[in-house]
Amino acid sequence: MKKLLFHRSIEYYQIENSSDLEKFQLREFRFFKGLGIVDYQQTFKAWLKKFPRPLFIAAIHNHRIAGWVHIDTWPEGKARDGNPVFVLRAIETSPDFRRKQIGRTLVYLALKHTLGYMLTKPVTSKSSRFFKEIGFQKPWDIASIQIDLSRYSNHVLLTPAAKKRSMAIFEETLEIQKGPLSNVEISMPGLNDPEEQVGKTGALDGKRSVEGGKPSGPEPTSVENSVEKRNRSVRSAKDGKEEKMDDHTPGAKSGRLPDSKKVPNKGDDYDHSVIFLFDTSHELHKSSSWSPENPRRVTSILEAIIEKRDNLQQHLLMQPNTPAASFRDLSRVHKPDYINFVKSYCESGGGFLGEDVYFTQDTYFVATVSAGSAIQASKEVLAGKAPFAFACTRPPGHHAKTDKQSGYCIFNNAAIVARYLQAIHGMKRIMIVDWDAHAANGTMEIFYNDPSVLLVSMQQDPHDFYPFEGLSKQLGKGPGLGSIINIEMPRSSGDAEYRIVFNEIVWPLYHQYKPDFVICCCGFDPYHLEDHTQLSMTSQGFHNIGSMVGEHLSGKVVTLLEGGYTRNLGHLVIAYLEGMTGQENHFKEDFDILSSQTIQQEKCRKVLRTKLNELRLILKEFYEF
């Protein structure tokens, strides 16, 4: 049994078996009364035994069950777009507690702790109105429905996009206090394969009551994360002072603070914990024509985590549904006219703008969530919840410039985090380390004149490779001269070459610059199976980098997902995380090394040595090697 929330004198627990109910009293509920049942306590426990489920939440008041919600998996499996599908089978609240909005809170928690689609069948006109008002739609009202509901008459559906909006409404109207959730171990039912539950689920079509009514007040333009935070904002406004805290874009869709698995104490594997942030809204950013930068990238990573979860469970703290970055967060890096252009272009339907960047009607929101996830990752580390954080989001960011999209990138996530840390936390020195196969030209442009951010970018030699920037001679300008370090990696550079660069360039720079915080832009496209690059890293190479990051940067680093487009992307991310958490690399790759490949590798090593020697000469007036 897990405590999920304490709200308005009601405790909410996830019930895992009937023995959890021994300490609680169960009185009259309409559902059981409608079946003519008198012994509620025993019937309820027997019913719970009969229906194993991924999620059952009970509301408790003074050791009495005041309400419950039952969420089951959909017997038909996943939706056509790969999302899991859950069914809200029943929800019940005791008449004695109706004014405490227990029903709404139970629905909120049900949505919060599942991923993908939510399906239900309202049985009263009141419940039909309630589900409609929070975003559920009839199948024929959904333009491109991903679920076959031909055999499920009178059911309504909540899509992932509508689900996020519903969450925002609930959090605002219920004024949920987030604090108690920080010590909750949250499972990931939405990522389990629904097919595993086939044959175990049971329909519950009897009577049930749903607390209805439209949430009071307009749809929120911002979602504050606690009552206290909202009060501090009001007090600051009254004092005429600007509070140093995150804000949200007025009128824009907003995310919510993520769930958190149980945060370990410092003596409880603290040094090997990674907070893993992700958000299913990324699926709304999908090109009408095929693009390597597509939702499958993140989906494959999550599937790999599920597959290896037993190995990572004691180290990986999953946090879904991250908050969107605010207009102020974005405008610390990007020009307001550019931000407004992206937003209006998306609202008009989107399209293809060149530079390999496409927009959908939801891309602006998805891009702000991607940037917001990066910010949230830094917050979690600075709060001491874990020494490492990995933001698994898309679209990527390092090609985006102050006023231009480029190379799949819309907003520069790393730059946004850096400016956030400087503006809100007063940090003086930020270091960005980028090992994507393509140069971080957007990040370079943003900080080209700024000595407060040191960018170290290693990429395939850009003389004849996109973005044709990131040359070793590009060092910055004016006061920023020496703050841009570009390392040209020769073709065929592999695990050994990257280790040389980290040991001989990156870590010496780190120890001399002494940054307050480090942002790692983790591109997985130096991988040897990538179609559009000519580098030769293996999973072991990414594992090595993860190990070095874990050794040098504990407590002051976040990792942001950049490129990587092969079918093995999920395994590569796992290898990196295993390296960071001190585990063995479980994704072994076998190679038949031909003599020609050995000769090619020797040539590559010589070219790299020459380039590093030239780079040291260029940097000698700024750093010692």
Average pLDDT in the 543-561 region?
96
pLDDT, position 446: 98
Res. 134 pLDDT band, cuts 50 70 90: confident
Yes or no: domain 2-197 corresponds to CATH 3.40.630.30: yes
Res. 310 pLDDT band, cuts 50 70 90: low
Report whether 114 contacts 189 (CB < 8 A): yes
Report whether 119 contacts 85 (CB < 8 A): yes
Q: Token digits for 469?
A: 């920037």
Q: Which amino acid is at 184?
A: V
Q: Which amino acid is at 399?
A: H
Q: DSSP letters of 432-470?
A: EEE--SS--HHHHHHTTT-TTEEEEEEEE-GGGSTTS--
Q: For residue 83, which of 159, 11, 21 has the smallest C-alpha distance? A: 159
Average pLDDT in the 472-484 region?
96
pLDDT, position 538: 94
Report whether 273 contacts 386 (CB < 8 A): yes
Res 108 pLDDT > 60: yes
Within 13 Å, how many C-alpha atoms sit on residue 562's CB side? 32
Helix residue ranges, H only, 96-215:
102-112, 125-133, 160-174
Q: Which residue has the tokens 């309504």?
A: 156
Average pLDDT in the 40-50 region?
59
Residues of the chain with CATH 3.40.630.30: 2-197
Res 67 pLDDT > 60: yes
Res 373 pLDDT > 80: yes
Among 251-255, 331-335, 417-421, which is the least confidently predicted range? 251-255
Q: What is the mean pLDDT of the chain?
A: 79
466-to-470, 525, 532, 538 alpha-carbon distances in Å:
10, 13, 10, 22
Q: DSSP letters of 335-393?
A: -HHHHHHHHHHHHTT-EE-STT-EE-TTHHHHHHHHHHHHHHHHHHHHTTS-SEEEE--
CA dihedral 11, 168, 170, 15 (to 10 degrees): -40
Which positions are catalytic?
399
pLDDT, position 97: 66
Selected residue with higher pLDDT from 26 and 267: 26
pLDDT, position 44: 61
pLDDT, position 183: 31
Among 9-13, 24-28, 600-604, which is the least confidently predicted range? 24-28
Residues of the chain with CATH 3.40.800.20: 252-587+598-619
Within 13 Å, how many C-alpha atoms sit on residue 196's CB side? 9
The fraction of the chain above a pLDDT of 70, given in percent, is 75
Q: For residue 527, which of 437, 395, 397 has the smallest C-alpha distance? A: 437
Q: DSSP letters of 206-274?
A: S-------PPSSPPPSS--S-HHHHHHHHHHHHHT---SS----TTS----PPP-PPPPPTTSSGGG-E
323 prior amide bond cis, ω within 30: no
Report whether 58 contacts 1 (CB < 8 A): no
pLDDT, position 309: 58
Average pLDDT in the 288-296 region?
90
Res 23 pLDDT > 70: yes
Res. 8 pLDDT band, cuts 50 70 90: confident
Res 211 pLDDT > 70: no
Q: How many Cβ atoms sit within 10 Å of the Cβ of residue 153?
A: 8
Selected residue with higher pLDDT from 214 and 532: 532
pLDDT, position 272: 57
pLDDT, position 288: 85
Q: For residue 113, which of 219, 215, 304, 260 has the smallest C-alpha distance? A: 260
pLDDT, position 99: 60
Res. 255 pLDDT band, cuts 50 70 90: very low
Selected residue with higher pLDDT from 563 and 52: 563
The CATH code of the domain at 252-587+598-619 is 3.40.800.20
Res 349 pLDDT > 60: yes
Question: CA gyration radius for the chain?
Answer: 26
Average pLDDT in the 547-551 region?
95
Res 83 pLDDT > 70: yes
Q: Using one digit for the tens of pLDDT, what is the confidence trace for 425-447?
A: 999 999 999 999 999 999 999 99
Res 228 pLDDT > 60: no
- How many residues make up the chain in this entry? 625
